[in-house]
Amino acid sequence: MSVAIGPGTEITLHFALLLEDGSEVDSTFERQAARFVFGDGNLLPGVEAKLQGLKAGD
């Protein structure tokens, strides 16, 4: 059973940050996935808003 992302949830994900011109600033796709705890202040509020309620595989 998957748990929905919310306060205190540990999140493991891959991401890529791109500039408007498409150039890559940072990416985890070639290394270990990033790990965060939802609500610990490590993610921007807008990113957390997009993740909240998602489940594994979404």
Task: Tell me the per-residue pLDDT of 17-54, one tens digit each, with 9 for 90 and over.
Answer: 999 999 999 999 999 999 999 999 998 899 999 999 99
pTM to 2 decimal places: 0.75
Instruction: Say what the pLDDT of residue 14 is.
Output: 94
Distance in angstroms (rounded) separating the CA atoms of residues 38 and 45: 10
Q: Angle CA(5)–CA(43)–CA(41) in degrees, nearest 5?
A: 95
Measured from the Cβ of residue 48, the count of other Cβ atoms closer than 10 Å reads: 19
Q: How confident is the model at residue 58 (pLDDT cuts 50, 70, 90)?
A: confident
Structure-block tokens of residue 5: 């992302």
pLDDT at 7 over 90: yes
